[in-house]
Structure 1
Amino acid sequence: MRHFRLARPVGVRVRRSAGYATLCALLTAFVPQAAVQAADPQDYVTTLRPTGNADLDAALRASSDLISLQKTQAVSPFALTGRIHNDYSRLISALESYGYYAGTITITVSDVDVKAAKGTEGAGHDGRDPDLPEWLQAIPAGRKAQVTISATPGSVFRIGIVTLQPDKGDPPVHLDAEEQKAFGMKPGVPAQAESVLAAGAALQVALTEEGYALAHVGTPQAWLRPDTHTLDLTYTVHRGPVVNLGAFDFAGLQRTHPAYIARRMTIAPGELYQPSRIERARQDIASTGLFSDVQVNHDETLATDGTMPLGFSFREGKRHSVGAEGGYSTDLGGRAGVTWTHNNLFGNAERLRLTALITGLGGSAEQGLGYDFYADLMKPDFGSRAQNLSARLEGIKQELYSYRQTALLARVGVVRHVNRLWNVSFGGQIEQEQIQQMRATNSYFIVALPLTANYDGTGVDNPITPATHGVRVGASITPSASLTDGTSFFAIMQATVSTYFDLKHFGLSRPGRSVLALRGTIGNVEGASTFAIPPDQRLYAGGSATVRGFRYQGVGPQFANTRYAVGGTSMDAGSFEYRQRILQKFGAVGFIDAGQVTGNHTPFEGTLRVGAGAGARYYTPIGPVRLDVAVPLNRPARGDKWELYVGLGETF
């Protein structure tokens, strides 16, 4: 019987002792100086003979200093001898970590003629040969040392008796069903170090999740039984008392109000101590974007009232940032601008963002340059932690072929996250605008109450990240009133559904490499006729959001003998895409779109327009860069022959 503690996990480096270095120095001192210089450094190459177990071979290779250091650290013959001697224990530890406690390691060293066509190998020396340093030193020029490692694993040892003993002064250890399931160590399973150590760690996690904040499961003691090829284990378990959370301390807050952090917390003093909930609370605070680092810790002793206080430490992030924004399509032309962001405006995670854009740079659907200036204010946790308040003040000028618009808008709304998949928003908007269409100029004052609902079952948190499965649904209804030059009431209703299908389900590709994407959009305006609705409130199609290959607002009724779109009261469009990843960072897309617009309040009527095209993708850490080219398959007489679209992220 052999008693020992389990070896370190495979791959952990250990330092050589100072005594070993001193020994090498002394040995070197007693060798003739000319000989030492002639043999220093000693070139060598190491070969590991396969054992038939690929995982074990990888563990042996990772444990061997001879293999890992042969190309990076040149050594003298004496240092090479020490490296060989050191590898015996490291490789035995690797065998034992996989349950081979009766295995053996053989290391032989020979010299090889590196100038020969096939290499001529000399006689081998055992790695433990005391004359090995002198033999290595005498290797002639043109030859190098060949080190060969052979491992004989032997039989796999299995777990024998497993004992859970209490720590000093503790009552006997009895695990309930859940604790036993988490522990999972049973007689008969292979005695691999990784699983033996993981069982103790899993039991400790299970105990702390039940509120035993001071629970500890020690490194197991092991007794080797060579006659039965088993390993008996004893774990020392300290359970301790069930603990509730104590007071919270916040350190490092400079501009952030502690009261906001306290309200945002998903845990509270007096609740059961559970590390998983504490970690989720830490991640939730980190997700606000206010901090570059959030840490939580606690002492190993309880407070005088028997609770466990928590200490949160924060490192606040940058308060200001500047960004650039840009994009291009042949219909809307280029758009470029800058954004300035002020984070944590009032100390409660508010964010103010100012954006200035120049638009209409050379677009086929544009008659001149325009601008889009806006200020966004977002206040998170408005009323409850599941709601955000947003407000925008915006100035717009658009020189479209359909109309020319100058407008000032103000809107305020609340976004509520119903659950992980659903969110809804509601609010109000006012707009003062002047629009010129077909040489007629009109002013409008519009009041609207938009209500939207969105569902996202794709599992993608970042909207720029391409979805590979699931469904997205967006629906809105916007009751509106135009109060200038006669009052008109109307309601704009729109819905979009997108779905994604990974061809891995047919066994045709690897996950995420080949994806089908479909999108359908339908819209309708009720309550007023087309010309009783302000031009910017009517429905249009054409462009990347509906039918590619046709310019923006290029699908639907047009004024006679012009390319000016009238707009309509109903619209429908659909898209089909095939997305293919190529190598690691590139991709290609083929697509076909179709859509129509009519002014009779009835979808699926009008002249159906169809466009098709292809595109390239370059995948960056923040999302794919998109370049699409599309052509109309049945363009009108005054339509464009092709369109180009450049942007970040997939079209849908």
Structure 2
Amino acid sequence: MRGWRRRGRRIAGLSGCAAAAMLAVQPLPAEAFDFSSLDIFGLFGSKEQPPAVSADTLPYKLEFDLGDAADAKALTRTLQDASLLYRLRQDAPPDGETLARRMAADLNPLVDALWSQGYFNADVTLEVDGARLRVGGEPDAGLVRALEAYRNREPAPIKVEIAPGPVFGLRKVDILERGEVGAPSIADPQKVAKLKPGDAATASALRSAQAALVDYLRAQSRPLAKIVELRPVVDHAARIMDVTYVVDPGPLAGFGDIAIGGTVDVPPEVVRSFIYLEPGDPYSPKALADTRKSITSIPAIGSARIREGDKLDGNGNLPIFVEVTERPKRLIGFSARYSTIDGPAVKTYWEHRNLFGGAERLRLEADIFLAPRIDGSSIQRFGDFEQSDLGGRFSFSFMKPALNGSRYDLLVDGMATRERVGTNRYGGYTARYANITTSIRRRFSDTFSVQAGLEVERGQTSDVLGQVDYTLVGIPLSVKYDSTDSLLDPTRGIRATASVAPYAMFGDNTNALFQTKASIAGYYALDEDARYVLAGRVGFGSIAGADLDEIPATRRFYAGGGGSVRGYAYRSLSPLGPLNRLTGGRSLFEASAEARIKITETIGIVPFFDAGMAFASELPNFKETLALSAGLGLRYYTPIGPIRLDVAAPLNPRKGDKPVAVYISIGQAF
């Protein structure tokens, strides 16, 4: 074995580099889906069935016999992946001599596969009717005759007999640095590599250690770090392995010049404004991953590929090359949602992702939804349906990113809405209003931004406290921080927003309003693959400067609904006023907790708990009762995000609240 030293007996005739077998086992090339691998009602053949016997070919069948090996099933799959006989089982050879040579060529790959799993004393034998072929042997006339005896009769039965023996363990693990002067680059290399004496000497363990060492050094701003030599020494008699890694940490480096390619209709300066790396910044793989995510937040960009230079520039920095692909300019879509409490809703939208050639996005949306009855009547049959039972919303949003190549974005949003919100038992409000907001957003990083703008809203609301005709003019200010790893399915990080907005009010009332909102959500994965995720959210709101009946109903706070306290109707949790009707509140508190558990790669369950209420006071009064709910969700994970089905039940329901509510949507609840 080239590159290996062994103590004890040798395995004769074994060729190739076992270090390569341990650390670079090559996967099979991808293949198109083959219906012959199925046997559905006999419509398709099965690859487990050998080709038909004939006078011109010599088909065979293969059996792997691993005796009483503890991991026989997994080991059999490993051997099948390595076996030429197994891969070519549908390609019958013309004669016994060709098949015998195919068998001989299979021995070394099978031994290498066993070695990759730590079975260094494994014994491999291929047998046909008593004629045997072992490592180091050549096929003889007896084996050829045994194979030819099956011509035109039945497939030749080839048995692969494996005596794997014990899994070898690691005895000594050394990690040496090359070319480093002074303190070592890795203070505790064994801890980084996660290899220790007694661990199984498998290919996966050695590969993981190699990757961990390189990843650690790259995270320390050493982009050229590599493993330059691996020295495994196997002692067959003692059934152990000693292994030495020789690491070249490479020099400390920063980011060099950043080249941008692949842009066709999107100006490169727009892409550059979403890259927060600057020449000389310390090199970091995480910074590159964050950069990729930041670039793809541009609606006109579909994907970003970041390639690193293979050597440092004259300043000791690593050049970076960014290649982007652009998305189709136009998008049209339709979506639907349903809740057993809030009812059905449909939405259609149209979007242009590069309106004027500067990656400007214009999005138009139209929503139609069922407005709940709040006057004690109900829809029993189709004839009861009235035009006022339909609510609607038309909205638009425009974004011009990277004004003059800077990190400032122009945002213009507007909507016109007619809605009725509440429940039959506790009432609610009706509203018609139009709003337009123009803002400038300053991006400081891929996670942090601030925003300031001018907002104008004109409308009319009616509820148990009366009718309010109003015009609001305000200056909303907001700050956003988002370090999560996904928009629709976050598993790690924090998402926080806070806003303040002073408003001058014109119309029936002229008091000023001062509105404050804040929310924070956190996500913590309990394992590396994020199969178990804890998620929590807290929200707060407050309005000062006006009495409750002077505030438009749409600006008051309410809790309840699929994005708030599940199990209660949308915006149905608030103080009660005259006639025991909802009035909304001047403050709000909401909290949610979830455990997101993946059962399989595509199916998950989510037990959850929600709490919340709106209060008449300017600040939440926790002496009052909070509405509580609990439930269980089902998630179906797709490439675009999880499909959510939540079933929630109020824990302290009021008279008239339904016992359960069902919500169906795309994306996590928060």
Instruction: Select the residue among 263, 266, 270 that pairs with 1:260.
Output: 270
In structure 2, the residue matched to 1:30 is none
User: Given the alignment of the two structures, is residue 88 of structure 1 paired with residue 107 of structure 2, yes or no?
Assistant: yes
User: Given the alignment of the two structures, is residue 569 of structure 1 paired with residue 581 of structure 2, yes or no?
Assistant: no
In structure 1, the residue matched to 2:643 is 624
Change (3 A) 1:511 1:275: closer
Of residues 56-65 and 478-487 in structure 1, the stretch that sits farther from structure 2 once superposed is 56-65
Gaps of 5+ in 1: 16-34, 112-122, 166-171
User: Given the alignment of the two structures, is residue 480 of structure 1 paired with residue 499 of structure 2, yes or no?
Assistant: no
Of residues 230-239 and 394-403 in structure 1, the stretch that sits farther from structure 2 once superposed is 230-239
Q: Alpha-carbon deviation of 1:150?
A: 3.2
- Native 8 Å contact 1:481 1:487 kept in 2: yes
Counterparts in 2 of 1:269-288, with a 5 A limit?
Answer: 281=291, 284-286=294-296, 288=298
RMSD of equivalent CA atoms: 5.5
Structure 2: distance between partners of 1:57 and 1:598: 65
User: Given the alignment of the two structures, is residue 46 of structure 1 paired with residue 64 of structure 2, yes or no?
Assistant: yes
Structure 2: distance between partners of 1:231 and 1:387: 59
Counterparts in 2 of 1:149-168, with a 5 A limit?
Answer: 149-150=161-162
- Give the counterpart letter for 2:644 in structure 1: V
Structure 2: distance between partners of 1:589 and 1:217: 42
In structure 2, the residue matched to 1:376 is 397
User: Given the alignment of the two structures, is residue 492 of structure 1 paired with residue 499 of structure 2, yes or no?
Assistant: no
Of residues 614-623 and 5-14 in structure 1, the stretch that sits farther from structure 2 once superposed is 5-14
Cα deviation code 1:127-176 (max 9, x no counterpart): 544121221111485785241333567997999999999xxxxxx95666
- Native 8 Å contact 1:555 1:609 kept in 2: no
Change (3 A) 1:3 1:402: closer
- Give the counterpart letter for 2:549 in structure 1: F
- Give the counterpart letter for 1:335 in structure 2: A
Question: Secondary structure of the equivalent of 1:37?
Answer: coil
In structure 1, the residue matched to 2:337 is 327
- Native 8 Å contact 1:97 1:192 kept in 2: yes
In structure 2, the residue matched to 1:443 is 469
Change (3 A) 1:582 1:296: closer
Cα deviation code 1:525-565 (max 9, x no counterpart): 2222122222222233443455445433434455644x753
Structure 2: distance between partners of 1:542 and 1:14: 53
Change (3 A) 1:489 1:250: closer
Structure 1: distance between partners of 2:563 and 2:208: 52
Gaps of 5+ in 2: 5-15, 30-52, 379-387, 422-426
Structure 2: distance between partners of 1:130 and 1:281: 62
In structure 1, the residue matched to 2:434 is 408
Structure 2: distance between partners of 1:581 and 1:200: 29
Q: Alpha-carbon deviation of 1:323?
A: 2.2
In structure 2, the residue matched to 1:352 is 362
- Native 8 Å contact 2:454 2:474 kept in 1: yes
User: Given the alignment of the two structures, is residue 12 of structure 1 paired with residue 26 of structure 2, yes or no?
Assistant: yes
- Give the counterpart letter for 1:535 in structure 2: A
User: Identity rate of aligned residues, in percent?
Assistant: 24
In structure 2, the residue matched to 1:646 is 664
Instruction: Select the residue among 128, 141, 144 that pairs with 1:110.
Output: 128
- Native 8 Å contact 2:368 2:390 kept in 1: yes
Structure 2: distance between partners of 1:568 and 1:214: 59
- Give the counterpart letter for 1:408 in structure 2: A
- Native 8 Å contact 2:118 2:202 kept in 1: yes
- Native 8 Å contact 1:519 1:574 kept in 2: yes
Q: Alpha-carbon deviation of 1:380?
A: 4.0
Structure 2: distance between partners of 1:530 and 1:258: 51
Structure 2: distance between partners of 1:594 and 1:237: 54
- Native 8 Å contact 2:220 2:284 kept in 1: yes
Change (3 A) 1:174 1:196: farther
Of residues 359-368 and 537-546 in structure 1, the stretch that sits farther from structure 2 once superposed is 359-368
- Give the counterpart letter for 1:488 in structure 2: N
Question: Secondary structure of the equivalent of 2:399?
Answer: strand
Change (3 A) 1:47 1:294: same
In structure 1, the residue matched to 2:418 is 397
Question: Secondary structure of the equivalent of 1:318?
Answer: coil
- Native 8 Å contact 1:2 1:224 kept in 2: no
Counterparts in 2 of 1:48-447, with a 5 A limit?
Answer: 48-49=66-67, 60=79, 62-70=81-89, 72-75=90-93, 77-94=96-113, 103=121, 105-111=123-129, 123-126=130-133, 128-131=138-141, 132-139=143-150, 141=153, 144-150=156-162, 177-178=183-184, 249-267=259-277, 281=291, 284-286=294-296, 288=298, 290-295=300-305, 312-360=322-370, 367-381=388-402, 388-400=409-421, 402-415=428-441, 424-437=450-463, 442-447=468-473
Q: Alpha-carbon deviation of 1:421?
A: 6.9
Question: Secondary structure of the equivalent of 1:43?
Answer: strand
Question: Secondary structure of the equivalent of 1:402?
Answer: strand
Q: Alpha-carbon deviation of 1:339?
A: 1.5
Change (3 A) 1:75 1:414: farther
Structure 1: distance between partners of 2:389 and 2:261: 54
In structure 2, the residue matched to 1:540 is 558
Q: Alpha-carbon deviation of 1:627?
A: 3.9
- Native 8 Å contact 1:586 1:616 kept in 2: no
- Native 8 Å contact 1:331 1:364 kept in 2: no
Q: Could you tell me the TM-score, scaled by structure 2's length?
A: 0.69
In structure 2, the residue matched to 1:22 is none
Structure 2: distance between partners of 1:272 and 1:500: 28
Q: Alpha-carbon deviation of 1:363?
A: 6.1
Change (3 A) 1:463 1:147: same
Q: Alpha-carbon deviation of 1:342?
A: 1.6
Question: Secondary structure of the equivalent of 1:403?
Answer: strand
Q: Alpha-carbon deviation of 1:255?
A: 0.9
Q: Alpha-carbon deviation of 1:85?
A: 0.4
Question: Secondary structure of the equivalent of 2:60?
Answer: coil
Q: Alpha-carbon deviation of 1:476?
A: 3.8
Cα deviation code 1:220-249 (max 9, x no counterpart): 799999999999999999999999987665
- Native 8 Å contact 1:200 1:219 kept in 2: no
- Native 8 Å contact 2:635 2:643 kept in 1: yes
Question: Secondary structure of the equivalent of 1:465?
Answer: coil
Q: Alpha-carbon deviation of 1:486?
A: 4.0
Change (3 A) 1:512 1:90: closer
Structure 2: distance between partners of 1:301 and 1:420: 27
Question: Secondary structure of the equivalent of 1:435?
Answer: strand
Instruction: Select the residue among 481, 484, 489 that pairs with 1:465.
Output: 489
- Native 8 Å contact 2:574 2:614 kept in 1: yes
In structure 1, the residue matched to 2:39 is none
Q: Alpha-carbon deviation of 1:465?
A: 1.8
Q: Alpha-carbon deviation of 1:445?
A: 1.0
- Give the counterpart letter for 1:620 in structure 2: Y
Bigger Rg, which one: 1
